[in-house]
Amino acid sequence: MGQDYDVIVYGATPGGIAAAISTARKGRRTLLLEPSAYIGGMMTSGLGRTDIDDLKASGAIYREFADKVLKHYSESYGLHSSQVKDCNKGMYFEPSVARMIFWEMTDVEQLLEVKCEHEIASVAMEDNRLTAIRVKVINQLPILHRSASVFIDCTYEGDLAAMAGVPYWSGRESRDVWNEEYAGKIYMNFDETKEVLPGSTGVGDHRIQAYNYRLCLTDMQDRKAEVTKPNAYRREDYISLVEDVAASRVNSIRDVLNILPVPNGKTDANNHHYCMCSSDLPDENGDYLEGSGEVRRSIAARHRTYLQGLLWFLQNDEALPAAFRIDAGRWGYAADEFVDTDHFPPQIYVREGRRIHGEYVFTENDARLAPGLGRSPIHYDSIATGAYAIDSHAVQKREPEGKNIALEGFLGLGWLTEIYQIPYGVMVPRQMEGLLVPVAVSATHMGFGTIRMEPCWMQLGYAAGIAADLSIEGKLPLRDIPIDLLQDELLDHNQLITFFEDIDPLSDEGKAIQYFGAKGVFTTYKAESDRPIRIHEASGILAKARSLPGGQRMPVLPATDRLLPTGTDMGPRFHNSEISPEAYWKEHPYLSRVTYTNWLRVATAQLCGEALPDRSEEREDVSIGEFCNRVYAILKSQRKGLLANASKGRR
C-alpha cells in the first residue's frame, strides 16, 4: 500500500519550514501541517532580531532567508536606505516581511503542500514505527488519515513526538546529573559581574523558563495603534514597579522592556534582563506542555492580558511619575502588523518545550571549551553549528533571595559559550523509528538554552529533511543512514557542520576542512588552510581518512620523495652512505609537491580512474586546504554506492 506522502512535517515553525523545503527540493512529496492559522512561528510573530551575532556561523537555509530579507529591503527602499542598514544583512526584519518571505519560499516548491489549522488528533504505530497520523481540521468535522515514510516533528512543544510515545524531559536537571556547572537552581546577576548569589544550590526541578510575547511596537505617531486596558487587568501584577521607579532601579519604559529596532521604525520588544517585572511571566507556564488545547489557550490568554496590562500600567498608572508615563505613552503597537489579531502577535514564545530522549544528549559542556582543546567538543556526526550564548529566562517570580537584582533561573553564559557542533543524534528518538525531532531536541535544560534559537532550528530542520530523503532512498531506519553521506549532502547545500575563524566555509576547501573538522583533525577554531602542510599532518589526515567510509583503500604517502620514474636507472646507489629516513624527514618536515604528486597519481589512478591534474602552475608547497580538499574529494567519489550497500547489508 502506497504512502499518502513521502514526508509529513508537523509544525510550520522556521525549523518546520526548513525541513519541508529540503525534502521537497530532494523530490519528495511533502505535507507541512500547522495547527495554528499562521506559519513562521516566532519569526513571523515578533521575534524580528535574530539571536546570533553574525551570519558567519550559519549556513544553508537561514542564509537563504536572510539574503531574501536583504533583497526585499534593497529592492523596496534602495541599497543605501535606512531600511537596508536597519535590517543588518537580513538578520533583522518586520514580522510581516518574514511571513511574506516564508510564504514565497514554500509556494515555489511544487512538491510541498502547506495546510494551516490542521491539528494532530492521534497517531498510528507499527512495530514501534510511526506510520500515520489522524488530523483534525480546525472548526471542521472530518478527521483525515495521512500516512508517510518519514515524519518530522517541528513543533516548539514536541507534540507529535509525545503523542507517538517518545520519552522526554521537561524542567531542569541538577548539577551532577550531567556535570553541568550552572544547572539547577541559581540566582545570577545578569550584569557584567555575573555574580552568583547565595541560595544557588543547583538542585533540579520541573520548572520551565518563562514564556512571553515579542511585541512589535513603534513610537511613530502616525503609524501606531494605541494601547488599551485589557478586560482582565490586574494592577497587582505590576505594583512592584512603583517602588523600583522610586528607588531608581527603573527609570523609563526601556528599563522594563528591552526595546530594540527593526526596519521602518518598528521594534522587537522582549523581556528586559535587569527588570524584576517585565514581559516574561515566570512560574505561570508549568501546565502548558501537558495541558489540553483549552489549558494552553488559557495560559496564552493570561500572558497576553498580562503584557497588555503591563503597557497600560506603564502609560497610565498615576502612582508612576508623570514624566515616566508620558515617555511610555509614546509607544504603541505597530498598526500595520498583526492586523487580524488586534496588532498583537499570535504566537506565544514557547522558549522551552519538551526535550526528547535522543541518541545523544546535548549539554552545557557541548557548548563550552573542551578540556585540552582550543574549541568546543568535536562530534563526528555533526550536522549543524550553533552560536548563541547559553541562557535561560527566569523560572520563578521575585523573591528576597534575588536581592532586587536577580530572578531565580535567569542566567547568561556569554563569556563561556563557544561556537559549537550539533550531532545528528539529538534529533533521533531512542527506540523509535520513522520520526525525527529537530526542534524539541534531546538536550538538558542548559544545553537547550543555546540550541533554542530560530537560525539553529532552521539548520537542524534542513538537516532533518536531507536525512529523511536518505532514509527513504536507502530504505534505512533514520538512525542507520550513513552520517558521512548526510554531511556530504549538507556541505553541498552550503550547510555549516563546524566553524573555523579563518576559512571561507562555502568554498570547496572550506567544506573539506569542515568535514575533517567534524572528524577531529583540527583541534582549534583555526585551520590555517593556506599554510604549507607538514608531512606528519598529511600522514595523520590519511590515517583518519582510511577509517572513514570510502577511505579504506586509500594509499598512504610514499615513504620517500626520491622516487624515480619507471625506466630511469637507479644505480649506482649506496644506501649505507645516505641519511636515514628518520633524519631525512626531520630535515624535510613539510609535504613536498613531489611527494604529494606521487601520492595523488596513485590514489586517483587506483581509486578514481582519473588522470593526474596538471599542477605545473601551482605553488611549490602543498597547503592544508589543498590536501584536505583532494582527500575529501576522493572520499566522496568512493561513497557513491554507500547508501545502496548499507541498504543491502540490512536485507
pLDDT tens figures, 241-254: 999 999 999 999 99
Which residues touch 262 (CB under 8 Å, ≥6 apart)? 48, 49, 86, 87, 92, 93, 94, 216, 268
Q: What is the mean pLDDT of residues 296-325?
A: 98
651 pLDDT tier (thresholds 50, 70, 90): low
Q: What is the mean pLDDT of residues 111-128?
A: 96
Domain ranges of the chain: 5-168+353-368+417-492, 217-341, 508-568+576-647
Whether the bond between 572 and the residue before it is cis, its omega within 30 degrees of 0, is yes
Please name every residue paired with 334 in a beta bridge, in sequence order, or none if there are none.
224
- Report how far residue 55's alpha carbon sits from residue 508's, in angstroms, rounded to the nearest whole number: 19
pLDDT exceeds cutoff 90 at 54:
no
pLDDT exceeds cutoff 70 at 590:
yes
Judge whether 327 and 396 are in contact, CB under 8 Å. no
Lookup result for grid cell 620523495: 561
Closest among 96, 17, 77, 86 to 49, alpha carbons compared:
86
Distances (CA, A) of 617 to 351, 591, 593: 55, 18, 12
pLDDT tens figures, 153-171: 999 999 999 999 999 999 9
Q: What is the mean pLDDT of residues 430-458?
A: 96
Q: For domain 5-168+353-368+417-492, give the CATH superfamily.
A: FAD/NAD(P)-binding domain (3.50.50.60)
616 pLDDT tier (thresholds 50, 70, 90): very low
The H-assigned helical ranges of 329-412 are: none
pLDDT tens figures, 265-287: 999 999 999 999 999 999 999 99
Could you give the strand order of the β-sheet that contains 224-225, starting from the edge strand earlier in sequence?
224-225, 332-334, 217-218, 266-271, 257-262
610 pLDDT tier (thresholds 50, 70, 90): low
- Report how far residue 582's alpha carbon sits from residue 560's, in angstroms, rounded to the nearest whole number: 11
pLDDT tens figures, 206-248: 999 999 999 999 999 999 999 999 999 999 999 999 999 999 9
pLDDT at position 612 is 52
Mean pLDDT score across all residues of the chain: 95
pLDDT: is 332 or 581 the higher one?
A: 332
pLDDT at position 68 is 98
pLDDT exceeds cutoff 90 at 640:
no
pLDDT at position 84 is 98
- Report how far residue 401's alpha carbon sits from residue 397's, in angstroms, rounded to the nearest whole number: 11
In this structure, the strands spanning 224-225 and 217-218 are unpaired
- Report how far residue 38's alpha carbon sits from residue 98's, in angstroms, rounded to the nearest whole number: 12
pLDDT tens figures, 495-549: 999 999 999 999 999 999 999 999 999 999 999 999 999 999 999 999 999 999 9
pLDDT at position 191 is 93
The percent of residues in the chain predicted with pLDDT above 90, rounded, is 90
Q: Is the dihedral of CA 594, 597, 603, 606 positive or negative?
A: negative
